Chain A
Amino acid sequence: MTNAVDKSKVPWWVSNLIVPLVNLVLALLVSALFIFIAGENPIKAVKLIIYGSFGYLDGFAYTLYYTTNFVFTGLAFAVAFHCRLFNIGGEGQAYIGGLGVFLVAINVSFLPVPIVWLLAIAGAVVFGAAWAFIPAYLQAKRGSHVVITTIMFNFIASSLMVFLLVDVIRDMKQMGPHTVALPKEIWFPTFKEFAALFGIKIRYSPLNISFLLAIAASFFVWFLVWKTKWGYEMRAVGHNTQAAIYAGISPYKNIIIAMCISGGLAGLLGINEILGVHHKIVAGFPAGYGFTGIAVALMGRNHPIGIFPAAFLFGILYQGGSEVTFDMPNITRYMFVAVQGVIILFSGALENLFRPQIESFFVNRLNRKVSV
Chain B
Amino acid sequence: MVSPILELKNINKSFGHVQANKNINLKINQGTIHGIIGENGAGKSTLMSIVYGLYQADSGTISVSGKEIKLKSPRDSIESGIGMVHQHFMLVENFTVLENIVLGFEGEFVFGEKLKKAKQDLKNLCDTYKLNIDLESVISDLSVGFRQRVEILKSLYRGAEIFILDEPTGVLTPQEVDELFKILRSLKEEGKTIVLITHKLNEIMDLTSEVSVMRQGEVVGHTKTSDTNKEKLAEMMVGRSVLLRLNKEDAKLGDVVFKVENLTVKDDLDVTRVKNVSFEIRSGEILGLAGVTGNGQTELLEALSGIRKVESGNIYLNDEKVSDKENLLDPRKLKEKGLAHVPEDRQRMGLVTNFKAYENLIFGYHDQEPYSKSSILRDSDIITYSKKVMEEYDVRPRSPQLITSNFSGGNQQKIILSRELNESPKILLVGQPTRGVDIGAIEFIHQRLIDMRDKGAAILLVSVELDEVLSLSDRILVMFDGNIVGERINKDVTDRELGLLMAGVA
Closest to B368 in A: A229
Closest to A247 in B: B364
Closest to B15 in A: A6
Q: How many residues of B contact A (CB 8 A)?
A: 38
Which of B16, B306, B348, B375 contacts A9 (CB under 8 A)?
Answer: B16
B372 touches A240 (CB 8 A): no
Cβ of B100 within 8 Å of any chain A Cβ, yes or no, is no
Cβ of A175 within 8 Å of any chain B Cβ, yes or no, is no
Closest to B56 in A: A3
Per-residue interface assignment for chain B, residues 346 to 358, with 1 indicating a CB less than 8 Å from any chain A CB and 0 otherwise: 0011111111000
- Give min CB distance, A221 to chain B, whole Å: 15
B16 touches A239 (CB 8 A): no
B348 touches A242 (CB 8 A): yes
Cβ of A245 within 8 Å of any chain B Cβ, yes or no, is yes
Cβ of B333 within 8 Å of any chain A Cβ, yes or no, is yes
B15 touches A8 (CB 8 A): yes
- How long is the Cα–Cα vector from A219 to B409 in the complex, in angstroms? 36
Cβ of B305 within 8 Å of any chain A Cβ, yes or no, is yes
B376 touches A246 (CB 8 A): no
Residue among A1, A227, A229, A236 with most chain B CB within 10 A? A229
B307 touches A246 (CB 8 A): yes
Cβ of A111 within 8 Å of any chain B Cβ, yes or no, is no
- How long is the Cα–Cα vector from A229 to B372 in the complex, in angstroms? 7
Closest to B331 in A: A248
Cβ of B359 within 8 Å of any chain A Cβ, yes or no, is yes
A246 touches B364 (CB 8 A): yes
Cβ of A235 within 8 Å of any chain B Cβ, yes or no, is yes
Cβ of B31 within 8 Å of any chain A Cβ, yes or no, is no
B15 touches A247 (CB 8 A): no
B355 touches A239 (CB 8 A): yes
Cβ of A51 within 8 Å of any chain B Cβ, yes or no, is no
Closest to B341 in A: A246
Which of A236, A245, A246, A250 contacts B355 (CB under 8 A)?
Answer: A236
Which of B350, B355, B364 contacts A248 (CB under 8 A)?
Answer: B364
On whether A8 and B376 interact (CB within 8 A), knowing A239-B355, A243-B348, A248-B330, the answer reads: no
Looking at chain B's contact residues, the main secondary structure is loop
Number of A-B contacts (CB under 8 A): 81
Q: How many residues of A contact B (CB 8 A)?
A: 24
Closest to A240 in B: B352
Which of B15, B332, B353, B406 contacts A240 (CB under 8 A)?
Answer: B353
B377 touches A246 (CB 8 A): no
Interface hits, B331-346 → A, CB 8 Å: 331-335, 341, 343
A246 touches B305 (CB 8 A): yes
Cβ of B393 within 8 Å of any chain A Cβ, yes or no, is no
Cβ contacts under 8 Å, B307 to chain A: 245-246
- How long is the Cα–Cα vector from A240 to B366 in the complex, in angstroms? 16
B349 touches A243 (CB 8 A): yes
On whether A229 and B367 interact (CB within 8 A), knowing A243-B348, A248-B335, the answer reads: yes
Cβ contacts under 8 Å, B348 to chain A: 240, 242-243
Cβ of A232 within 8 Å of any chain B Cβ, yes or no, is yes
- Give min CB distance, B132 to chain A, whole Å: 34
A229 touches B364 (CB 8 A): no
B376 touches A227 (CB 8 A): yes
- Give min CB distance, A238 to chain B, whole Å: 9
A1 touches B332 (CB 8 A): no
Closest to B334 in A: A248
Cβ of A54 within 8 Å of any chain B Cβ, yes or no, is no
Which of B331, B353, B354, B377 contacts A247 (CB under 8 A)?
Answer: B331
On whether A227 and B364 interact (CB within 8 A), knowing A243-B350, A248-B330, the answer reads: no
Cβ contacts under 8 Å, A243 to chain B: 348-352, 363
Cβ of A230 within 8 Å of any chain B Cβ, yes or no, is yes
- Give min CB distance, A265 to chain B, whole Å: 19
- How long is the Cα–Cα vector from A244 to B352 in the complex, in angstroms? 8
- Give min CB distance, A219 to chain B, whole Å: 14
- How long is the Cα–Cα vector from A248 to B340 in the complex, in angstroms? 12
- How long is the Cα–Cα vector from A243 to B353 in the complex, in angstroms? 10
- How long is the Cα–Cα vector from A9 to B349 in the complex, in angstroms? 27
Cβ of B504 within 8 Å of any chain A Cβ, yes or no, is no
Q: Identify 11 new A-B residue pairs, CB closer than 8 A, beyond the known A228-B375, A247-B363.
A: A6-B15, A9-B15, A228-B376, A229-B372, A230-B375, A236-B363, A239-B355, A240-B351, A240-B352, A243-B348, A243-B363
Name the 10 nearest CB pairs between A and B, nearest first. A248-B332, A8-B16, A247-B364, A248-B331, A246-B349, A1-B73, A240-B352, A239-B352, A239-B354, A229-B375
Q: List 25 A-B contacts (CB under 8 A).
A: A1-B54, A1-B74, A3-B55, A3-B56, A8-B17, A227-B377, A229-B366, A229-B367, A229-B376, A233-B366, A235-B355, A240-B348, A243-B349, A243-B350, A243-B352, A244-B352, A246-B305, A246-B331, A246-B349, A246-B364, A248-B306, A248-B331, A248-B332, A248-B335, A250-B330
Which residue numbers of A lie inside 8 Å of B, CB to CB? 1, 3, 6, 8-9, 227-230, 232-233, 235-236, 239-240, 242-250
